[in-house]
Structure 1
Amino acid sequence: MFSDAEMHALADVAFELADVARNATLPHFRVPNLFAENKFADGFDPVTVADRDAEQAMRDVLARRRPQDGILGEEFGNTNGTSGLTWVLDPIDGTRGFISGTPTWGVLIALSDSDGPIFGLIDQPYIGERFIGGFGIAELRGPRGTHPNAARTGVALSDATVFTTFPEVGTPDERRAFERVARTARLARYGMDCYAYALLAAGQIDLVIEAGLNPYDIQGPIAVIQAAGGIVTDWTGEPAHDGGRVLAAGSAEIHAEALRLLQEG
């Protein structure tokens, strides 16, 4: 679909998006008493000046470098394009973690066509780690250098590590489905935001199970994980790039085990 030169140019745009988002978010991270507006009356879904500034900075880059492309962003919605490509942006995935001072949040960027994401980034500005997937790239660039990403294989569910944001999100039935998997796994960890998907792509963990996601929550991670050899679907085994209930796995075998348990109820 793309020449080598086109892929290089598109990846370079993605890297610039991540760079400007780093510059917009870091001045606000671990600032005492950072104001967070609640977007929902029922529950707590915070947004800060850092979220909005980062997305606007990325949109400014795209207006200059890729005005023909569409944009779907968490804070400023949908902008139609003419190229058939859409940049899917989450300026801070994990704003709850951001305002709490935990370095589990990240900037999510995906380049997608009508079939879903084809290139993506999970960028953690505070740690300085950038997980990249697509166009033949599957790697982590960070303070310890550049390393290939490869999802972990050959692990049975009974030996697996599974991450989630339950019980923070999801319905009681969805949480019970997750708990069927968690009871079988060796270790379950909670509240890691997008960094859980990065760890799966790096081969550190085996499963991520979530619900209630939007497209901008998952399209970047899908590209990163698939490039590393992992699998991301919804809870019926269908594509997950529209969000909803998501199951990410390091291998087809452990994905099948987890999917069966999620569907048992």
Structure 2
Amino acid sequence: MTYFEGFIAPVPEDNREVYRGHANEASSMFGDFGVQRHFEAWESDVPEGKVTDFRKAVDAKPEEKVVFAWFEYPDRAARDAANEKMMSDPRMEEMGKNMPFDAKRMIFGGFNAIVEEGSERGGYTDGFVVPVPEGKREAYRELAAKMAKVFREHGANRVVEAIADDVPHGEVTDFYRAVKAEDGETVVFSFIEWPDKQSRDEAWAKIMQDDTMKPEDPMPFSGQRMFWGGFEPILDNDLAKASASA
């Protein structure tokens, strides 16, 4: 299945267009490295959580918004090869000199897809980060696969659940701290692509009435430490297609 490099970053609200332009300029370079799809989405409907949330994950300041982003690769080997090229390319060093956000608080990591339903892209995205006990990986995958079909039946274009494979522990922030992961827990990076926000809102109203949404007992993850939010895409580049036509 697809391999994902997932990112969550705090960006000053006033830097939205600067950030989008910066990411778009770098996108062709990422394609040279082997990234197949480069996706970036801006905070739109991100709730404040009592324990965890997207903003807490990156210590976002009041004047900052959160970006939910990812690179797609065919497999881990392609991602590793891309990262090796990035580390040795002088363009990356130059790009790092003028970052329109605080990279020290950005969190990132490599995730292996365990559920993929649908392939069409969307105009609005729900993002999720979930702490899952290592011993409940398969139970989580089975539940996620069942739920993915529900989302698709209610109009979702694509549903992905990807589990931590190469996720570093950071000095300031990281995916594990974001969900307050306990010993023996891993992290899932997940998203749902919808046609647009209205379709997403209407679908969730129906889904919450669906009997399939009734919680299992016990749930194979900590619902209190999971967090989610809605994001508006600001960049979605198909680098595999661009590379093929070059």
Higher relative contact order (CA 8 A, sep 6+): 2
Q: Would you tell me which structure has more strand in proportion to its own residues?
A: 2
Sort the TM-score into its range (normalised by shorter chain): 0.3 to 0.5
